[in-house]
């Protein structure tokens, strides 16, 4: 069963206990602001952050654990992997540091240890070690108001839609993460627009790996096709040259 996190922005009080719990659970170091940080609070030492918006709204940012993750599809060695339970995990032993995942992520989530001599990609792994043995992630466990909660994705979607239906005036009628880039395992309910969490012009709907799929599927055809064309071309030219030579030979005696 695919697990997921549902975050209700209207319930978040911005206490940052999730951030703190995440740091403890993953043994992350104290954070130092760096010139290469983005301004959303995420960093190599902060796998989740809380963004403050106007009107005392707090939006938790973390890896969205896409159902069809772009990062996992582009990783040349498969260091990133979408597990059956829903988490997109990272295997630092496989990683070679190409940072293609960071380029490909539509939410701009993965962070890099730019200051380290042996750097790795850093991102939320949905507390894979905990959820695998039936516990819930550190962040949802720490939340004092129940703003962010853990469960089966289908059930959380039901919960989200029930909340919207029960309180249509309170929420924007949309569950963020239900359809974006093919659906994500981290869902949001909100009364403010959450499109700032992704890049501006992301066409909604289709999962990103589909963008490369067509090109990648045509690779064998291009390979064989180019070989065939070249072989054919070579054969034709050789044959023509041979015929030219033979004709020349034939012509020679006639010329004499």
Q: Which of 187, 182, 127, 138 is nearest to 159 (CA)?
A: 187
CB-count burial class (<10 Å; 0-12, 13-18, 19+) for 90: buried
Of 27-35, 161-169, 171-179, 247-255, the window that binds another protein (rule: CB under 8 A) is: 27-35
Rounded to 10°, the helix 209-217/219-255 angle is 30
Among 4, 9, 12, 70, binds another protein (CB under 8 A): 70
> What is the 3 state secondary structure string of 101-149?
HHHHCCCCCCEECCCCCCCCEECCCCCHHHHHCCCCCHHHHHCCCCCEE
Phi/psi of residue 195, nearest 5 degrees: -65, -15
For another protein, the binding residues in 190-249 under the rule CB under 8 A are 198-203, 208-209, 211-216, 219, 222-223, 226-227, 230-231, 233-234, 237-238, 241
**From CA 55, how far away is CA 178, in angstroms rounded?**
25
**Count of residues touching another protein (by CB under 8 A):** 83
Q: Which is nearer to another protein, 154 or 221 (CB)?
A: 221
Q: Does 182 bind another protein (CB under 8 A)?
A: no
For another protein, the binding residues in 148-167 under the rule CB under 8 A are none
Q: Which is nearer to another protein, 1 or 216 (CB)?
A: 216
| Interface map 125-144 toward another protein (x if CB under 8 A) | ----------------xx-x
Q: How far is the CB of 254 from another protein (least distance, A)?
A: 26
Q: Does 27 bind another protein (CB under 8 A)?
A: yes
Instruction: Give the position of tokens 């630092």.
Output: 92
| Helix (H) or strand (E) segment spanning residue 111 | strand 111-112
Q: Does 31 bind another protein (CB under 8 A)?
A: yes
Q: Which of 89, 174, 104 is nearest to 137 (CA)?
A: 89
Q: Which is nearer to another protein, 1 or 225 (CB)?
A: 225
Q: How far is the CB of 109 from another protein (least distance, A)?
A: 9
User: Coil, strand, or helix at residue 149?
Assistant: strand
Q: How far is the CB of 53 from another protein (least distance, A)?
A: 14
For another protein, the binding residues in 71-110 under the rule CB under 8 A are 73-79, 94-100, 102-104, 106, 108
Q: Which of 125, 109, 100 is nearest to 212 (CA)?
A: 100
| Helix (H) or strand (E) segment spanning residue 81 | strand 80-82
Q: How far is the CB of 251 from another protein (least distance, A)?
A: 21
Q: Which is nearer to another protein, 133 or 219 (CB)?
A: 219
Instruction: Give the position of tokens 């959820």.
Output: 131
Q: Which is nearer to another protein, 116 or 249 (CB)?
A: 116
């Amino acid at each position: 069963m695919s697990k997921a996190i549902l975050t209700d922005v209207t319930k978040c009080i911005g206490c940052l206990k999730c951030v703190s719990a995440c740091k403890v659970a993953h043994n992350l170091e104290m954070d130092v602001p760096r010139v290469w940080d983005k301004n959303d609070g995420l960093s190599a030492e902060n796998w989740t952050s809380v963004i403050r918006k106007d009107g005392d709204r707090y939006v938790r940012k973390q890896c969205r654990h896409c159902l069809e993750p772009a990062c996992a599809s582009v990783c040349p060695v498969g260091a990133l992997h979408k597990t059956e339970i829903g988490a997109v995990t990272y295997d630092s032993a496989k990683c070679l540091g190409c940072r293609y995942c960071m380029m490909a992520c539509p939410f701009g989530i993965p962070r890099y240890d730019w200051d380290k001599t042996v750097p790795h990609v850093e991102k939320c792994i949905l507390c894979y070690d905990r959820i695998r043995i039936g516990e819930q992630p550190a962040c949802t466990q720490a939340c004092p108001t129940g703003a962010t909660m853990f469960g089966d994705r289908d059930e959380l979607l039901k919960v989200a839609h029930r909340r919207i239906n029960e309180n249509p005036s309170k929420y924007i009628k949309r569950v963020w993460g239900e359809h974006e880039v093919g659906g994500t395992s981290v869902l949001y309910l909100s009364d403010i627009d959450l499109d700032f969490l992704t890049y501006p012009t992301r066409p909604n709907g289709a999962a990103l790996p589909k963008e490369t799929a067509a090109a990648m599927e045509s690779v064998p055809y291009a390979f064989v096709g180019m070989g065939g064309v070249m072989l054919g071309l070579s054969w034709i030219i050789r044959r023509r040259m041979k015929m030219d030579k033979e004709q020349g030979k034939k012509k020679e005696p006639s010329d004499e």
